[in-house]
Amino acid sequence: MDSLWDSPDFDEHELVQFIHDRESGLRALIAIHSSHLGPVGGGVRFWHYAKSGDAVVDALRLSRGMSYKNAMAGLPLGGGKAVILADSQRTKTPEMLAAFGRAVEALAGRYVTAEDVGMSVADLSAISKQTRHVAGLPVGEGEVGGDPGPHTSYGVYLGICAAAKRALGRDSLAGVHIALQGAGSVAGGVARRAAADGARLSIADIDGDRARRLADEVGGTVVAPDEVLFLEADVVSPNALGAILDEQSIPRLRTTVVAGGANNQLATPEDGDRIHQRGILYAPDYVINAGGIINVSTEYVGDGDADTVRGRIEAIPGRLETIWDESIATGRNAAAVADDMARRLIGRG
């Protein structure tokens, strides 16, 4: 890219901070997209990027996604995201986490961090020794906090139920065939709930053991990672990484619904039109996967208990319905409808 400002993913981000800590070797980015609605909330991703420029793009896209997600979930939080650039061995040291915590603290509450891919509750606890602007910390029974994954799963499961009702006319997931891409934290929770309802599950993960363990637990079938999106299924649920819906993959889909927790599922905005034109019901990712940040926000802001969190997550299907209704009424694709709603909420409509 010529410069950060010319990047197609730069969207009037308020701050993009490049962090280098010589002693620990930490290289990280904190991107603040919009603080219109409050302090900026978004997790920190630990990932090995082939090129450091890919980390910049990821931080820009993910932080804008958090602005949209927090706004659409009705939270008093702006949107931001951090990425830590891992080496090829994915070396993560206490010194690196401490340096990252100091960088968050230096922003004095403008950015609140939490878990994302590659970061555990234990990692966030280590970071919390340096800053109080962190959520997703260990909690006791009944308290709000901890791993956001199960909360994200709950919202994704509810969104899949709403989509199955609308697109397939099904009042329950009994007999509904769901193809799950990923067998990690979010997919695992979705699989357990859907299996309890009697859904038929096909599961793929690049970590074959993980896919096998989950499939054994829920009575599902393991399928190949490069086939899972293209199975003949009622629902395809992407729960691994982003940009999997593109010009090549969308024509090959054989599903009625795409509804999953992965961030940034559409490679480009045009892919929202492509999926719409195929007549596939798409649940905009940042709307359906807001359960985790709802929990994080309630923990950090301190404005509710476990019942509050549950109630806020149970509002996700209603938001999806509003988006799908507007999509039908206007003929615009669901992702574009959601983006417009979100941009209005953050004062950029």
Residues involved in catalysis:
81
Smaller CB separation from ligand NAD, 70 or 256: 70
Does residue 202 belong to the site contacting ligand NAD (CB under 6 A)? no
Tell me the closest approach of the beta carbon of residue 328 to ligand NAD, in angstroms.
26
Does residue 145 belong to the site contacting ligand NAD (CB under 6 A)? no
Residue 286's alpha-carbon distances to 32, 67, 69, 136, 338, in angstroms, are 17, 9, 5, 18, 9
Cα separation, 93 vs 172, whole angstroms: 45
Smaller CB separation from ligand NAD, 34 or 185: 185
Smaller CB separation from ligand NAD, 188 or 272: 188
DSSP 12-45: --SEEEEEEETTTTEEEEEEEEE-TTSSEE--EE
Identify which of 64, 39, 55, 72 has the alpha carbon closest to the alpha carbon of residue 289.
Answer: 72
Smaller CB separation from ligand NAD, 115 or 234: 115
Tell me the closest approach of the beta carbon of residue 314 to ligand NAD, in angstroms.
17
> Which residue of this chain has its Cβ atom nearest to ligand NAD in the complex?
184
Smaller CB separation from ligand NAD, 131 or 263: 263
According to DSSP, residue 268 is labeled S
Query: Applying CB under 6 A, which of residues 262, 280, 320, 346 lies at the interface with ligand NAD?
Result: 262
Query: Interaction with ligand NAD in 275-294: which residues (CB under 6 A)?
Result: 289, 292
Tell me the closest approach of the beta carbon of residue 179 to ligand NAD, in angstroms.
11
Does residue 159 belong to the site contacting ligand NAD (CB under 6 A)? no
Q: How many residues sit close enough to ligand NAD to count as binding (CB under 6 A)?
A: 27
Does residue 148 belong to the site contacting ligand NAD (CB under 6 A)? yes
The count of other CB atoms within 10 Å of the CB of residue 305 is 12
Binding site for ligand NAD (CB under 6 A): 116-117, 148-149, 152, 181-187, 204-207, 210, 225, 239-242, 261-263, 289, 292
